[in-house]
Amino acid sequence: MHDFRGKVALVTGASRGIGRAIAVALARGGASVAINYAGNEAAAREALALCRGAGAARAELYRFDVADAAACTRAVEGVVADMGGLSILVNNAGIAIDQLVMRVKDDDWKRQLDVNLTGAFNLVRAATRPMMKARGGSIVNLTSVVGEMGNAGQAAYSATKAGLIGLTKSVARELASRNVRVNAVAPGFIDTDMTATLPEAAKQKMAEAIPLGRLGKVEDVAAAVAWLCSDEASYVTGEVLRVNGGMYM
């Protein structure tokens, strides 16, 4: 467990899955956690209860669409005003609309870009001012193994995740002099609500592509994110930490 007492964290897409696990991991260290969600109120309230039960100094819900730049600015300003600052930003919100490139619809391409890449940009831009003013902070962007290695049927999704890597490295260079660190975590195949509905044969085939022989757990990703957000990683910036079981090296 890392010590996040006195830190304020905003985690996007935190109502379930990887985002929820990250929010809980930060709460366990005593952080105040702002939980972003897009629309699933019931799941968001479950995440809120888990964060409070895990030991968060404070936990609150913030409903907004990360693709809306103005909403992102208002949300960051709200977190700073309500919770007294912003120490940690985790850009986890994302969507995947899988399709072969020749069949990708314009709207599906644009929506993935808007949420996965522009959404992260919106929040990084909004968070930069309070973090620079405080002369410290940590930003972690959730990219993906397919952002590095590609995947058939995921041209749009892979492009957005590759874009996040470029965003991470560029902003890391911009903000380093103000002691604001910017890193990325690239999960592989993770056992989430999305994969839970897959047939066992399909999950077995996925596991066979992974040297460690299993799908990852949301806690595996959350642990990596928590470390990057902690003081133990104070000399780490501009990095992509792979949590993929050896699927891509």
Interatomic CA distance for residues 182 and 172, integer angstroms:
5
* Residue 69 clears pLDDT 90, i.e. is over it: yes
Identify which has the larger pLDDT, 7 or 198: 7
Mean pLDDT for the chain? 97
* Residue 164 clears pLDDT 80, i.e. is over it: yes
pLDDT on residue 127: 98
Tell whether 101 is covered by a domain: yes
Question: What's the whole-number mean pLDDT along residues 56-60?
Answer: 98
Tell whether 1 is covered by a domain: no
Model confidence, pTM: 0.97
Tell whether 3 is covered by a domain: no
**Identity at 36, one-letter amino acid code:** N
| Tally of CB atoms within 10 A around 168 | 25
Residue 21 Cα to chain centre, angstroms: 10
Nearest CA among 44, 229, 42, 219 for reference residue 34: 44
* Cβ neighbours for 97, distance < 8 A, ≥ 6 positions apart: 108, 111, 112, 156, 157
Q: Which of 62, 157, 235, 248 is catalytic?
A: 157
Question: What's the whole-number mean pLDDT along residues 174-199?
Answer: 92
Q: How confident is the model at residue 199 (pLDDT cuts 50, 70, 90)?
A: confident
Q: Per mean pLDDT, which of 156-165, 189-198, 201-210 is the most reliable?
A: 156-165
Residue 134, token pair as written in the block: 């405080």
Residue 157 known to be catalytic: yes
Q: What percent of the chain has pLDDT over 70?
A: 100
Tell whether 200 is covered by a domain: yes
Nearest CA among 69, 74, 129, 94 for reference residue 17: 94
pLDDT on residue 203: 85
Interatomic CA distance for residues 172 and 194, integer angstroms:
31
Residue reference for tokens 């592509």: 209
Q: Tell me the per-residue pLDDT of 114-146, one tens digit each, with 9 for 90 and over.
A: 999 999 999 999 999 999 999 999 999 999 999
Q: How confident is the model at residue 97 (pLDDT cuts 50, 70, 90)?
A: very high
* Residue 176 clears pLDDT 80, i.e. is over it: yes
Tell whether 46 is covered by a domain: yes
pLDDT on residue 122: 98
Return the sign of the alpha-carbon dihedral for residues 12, 112, 220, 147: negative
Nearest CA among 186, 185, 184, 115 for reference residue 144: 186
Within 13 A of 227's CA, how many CA atoms are on the CB side? 14
Alpha-carbon dihedral of residues 8, 48, 118, 70, nearest 10 degrees? -80
Contact 222, 166 (CB under 8 A): no
* Residue 170 clears pLDDT 80, i.e. is over it: yes
pLDDT on residue 198: 77
| Boundaries of domain holding 93 | 8-242
* Residue 197 clears pLDDT 90, i.e. is over it: no
Q: How confident is the model at residue 196 (pLDDT cuts 50, 70, 90)?
A: confident
Identify which has the larger pLDDT, 198 or 32: 32
Tell whether 2 is covered by a domain: no
Tell whether 137 is covered by a domain: yes
Domains: count for the chain: 1
Tell whether 85 is covered by a domain: yes
The Cα-based distances of 191 to 95, 113, 221 in angstroms read 16, 24, 11
Nearest CA among 154, 155, 127 for reference residue 141: 127
Please list, residue by residue across 74-83, b when 16 or more beta carbons sit within 10 angstroms of its beta carbon and e when fewer do: ebbeebbeeb
Eight-class DSSP state of 192: S
Q: How confident is the model at residue 202 (pLDDT cuts 50, 70, 90)?
A: confident
- CATH number, domain with residue 152: 3.40.50.720
